[in-house]
């Protein structure tokens, strides 16, 4: 009876382990995954330094109490990537950069000796598809049941897509022909093609999670809204350099 009881307990334990194995295999081992990840999901945040190298920015700096650096600001973004080989993946990327600054005319005041004030905002939303190449293997397989992520994985990438932008100034302005002060909103917005090159590194925190350092140069230029701005203005410069930190989850 005792032997029969022990066999029964042993069989029950084996059945329990067999039933739980598929659930365990979906997770992580002690410092490893049970298979190479099929992709990643990343969220990031940081700073976007805008080039601001066109007439619309130069005029704002000249007339208003704005500096060129005021067109730079915080940026956030996210991407989902799909592995196509050990070192290559394709990603779909979305971001948003925002800057806003209150100002007043440098050389003019109103008829009550008060400053003539306005707000300037500058937003960019790039949507891109990218190819990323890992300079070293992201991890290594041990047999057929374990995949160990590398501690540090540098990478480079490039891509392109479309960018939405909005340049907006609202408040009080001066009519230089009459000297009158009037309220108004000046805005230009549109979609335009964009391109970017990027590089960075992933620092493994756990089998599933890595800290990602990301630097990229984003290029885009387009015509301003001609119903608002004179045709004498050159194209608005939407380019800039971004630096971000984020978390990458291996799928």
Q: Which two tokens stand for residue 133?
A: 């190449």
- Whether 17 is in a domain gets the answer no
Domain housing 43: 37-250
- Whether 75 is in a domain gets the answer yes
Query: In sequence order, which residues have a C-beta less than 8 Å from that of residue 161 and are 6 or more positions away?
Result: 93, 126, 127, 128, 129, 193, 194
Q: What is the mean pLDDT of the chain?
A: 89
Q: What is the pTM of this model?
A: 0.84
- What length does the chain have? 251
- Whether 147 is in a domain gets the answer yes
SS3 for 123?
Answer: strand
Domain harbouring 135, CATH code: 2.40.160.20
Q: Which two tokens stand for residue 90?
A: 């394709």
Q: How far apart are CA 86 and CA 212, in angstroms?
A: 18
Tens digit of each residue's pLDDT (9 = 90 or more) over 77-100: 999 999 999 999 999 999 999 999
Asked whether residue 181 carries a pLDDT value surpassing 60, the answer given is: yes
Cβ atoms < 10 Å from Cβ of 135: 11
Strand 39-50 with 73-83, pairing: antiparallel
- Whether 103 is in a domain gets the answer yes
Residue that is written with structure tokens 């949507």 in the block: 127
Strand partners, 127: 94, 162
- Number of domains composing the chain: 1
- Whether 177 is in a domain gets the answer yes
Q: How far apart are CA 90 and CA 159, in angstroms?
A: 9
Strands (E), the chain: 39-50, 73-83, 88-109, 115-134, 139-142, 146-149, 152-174, 181-204, 209-219, 221-222, 236-237, 240-250
- Whether 21 is in a domain gets the answer no
- Whether 28 is in a domain gets the answer no
- Whether 57 is in a domain gets the answer yes
Tens digit of each residue's pLDDT (9 = 90 or more) over 25-68: 345 566 778 888 999 999 999 999 999 999 999 999 999 999 99
């Amino acid at each position: 009876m005792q032997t029969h009881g022990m066999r029964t307990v042993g069989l029950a334990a084996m059945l329990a382990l067999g039933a739980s194995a598929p659930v365990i295999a979906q997770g992580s081992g002690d410092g490893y995954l049970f298979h190479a990840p099929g992709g990643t999901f990343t969220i990031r945040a940081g700073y976007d330094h805008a080039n601001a190298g066109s007439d619309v920015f130069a005029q704002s700096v000249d007339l208003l109490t704005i500096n060129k650096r005021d067109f730079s600001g915080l940026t956030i973004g996210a991407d989902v990537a799909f592995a196509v080989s050990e070192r290559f993946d394709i990603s779909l990327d979305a971001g948003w950069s925002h800057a806003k600054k209150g100002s007043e005319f440098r050389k003019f005041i109103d008829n009550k000796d008060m400053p003539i004030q306005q707000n300037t905002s500058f937003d960019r939303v790039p949507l891109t598809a990218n190819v990323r190449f890992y300079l070293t293997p992201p991890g290594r397989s041990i047999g057929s049941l374990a995949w160990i992520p590398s501690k540090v994985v540098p990478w480079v990438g490039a891509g392109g897509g479309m960018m939405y932008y909005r340049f907006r100034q609202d408040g009080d302005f001066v009519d230089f022909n009459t000297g009158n002060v009037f309220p108004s909103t000046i805005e230009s917005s549109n979609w335009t093609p964009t391109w970017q090159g990027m590089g960075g590194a992933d620092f493994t925190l756990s089998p599933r999670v890595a800290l990602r350092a990301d630097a990229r140069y984003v290029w885009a230029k387009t015509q301003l809204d001609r119903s608002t701005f004179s045709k004498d203005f050159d194209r608005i410069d939407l380019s800039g350099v971004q630096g971000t930190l984020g978390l990458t989850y291996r799928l």
